[in-house]
Amino acid sequence: MTVKSSERRSIAAFIAILTVSSATMLWLFWKHPLATAGVTFAILTVLGILAVLSRSIEVEKPDLDLDPGKQRLY
């Protein structure tokens, strides 16, 4: 199985971003533990609230069928 060079670059970029991100988080936690923990908790709380709100405003229509061949004319 061959891997294209563009796929290799994408994988390398992904690993580099993960490495830099984790190193930054570890450095911040080492230098400023309480502030980092507080900000992390606040961000995760906001994301959790947004996830709950997004589910509550989601509209589902069970009769909606996007296949044009199955649509009926009334």
CA distance 41 to 35: 10
Does some domain include residue 47? yes
Q: For residue 50, what is the enclosing H or E element?
A: helix 33-57
Reported confidence tier of residue 4, pLDDT bands at 50, 70, 90: confident
What pLDDT score does 44 carry?
Answer: 96
Does some domain include residue 45? yes
Q: Which domain holds residue 52?
A: 34-58
Q: SS3 helix, strand, coil % of the chain, rounded to 5?
A: 75, 0, 25
CA distance 50 to 42: 12
Does some domain include residue 46? yes
How many domains does the chain divide into?
1
How confident is the model over 29-55, as pLDDT tens digits? Answer: 999 999 999 999 999 999 999 999 988
What does the DSSP 8-state code read for residue 69? G
Is the model's pTM score more than 0.85? no
Task: Give the number of residues written for the chain.
Answer: 74
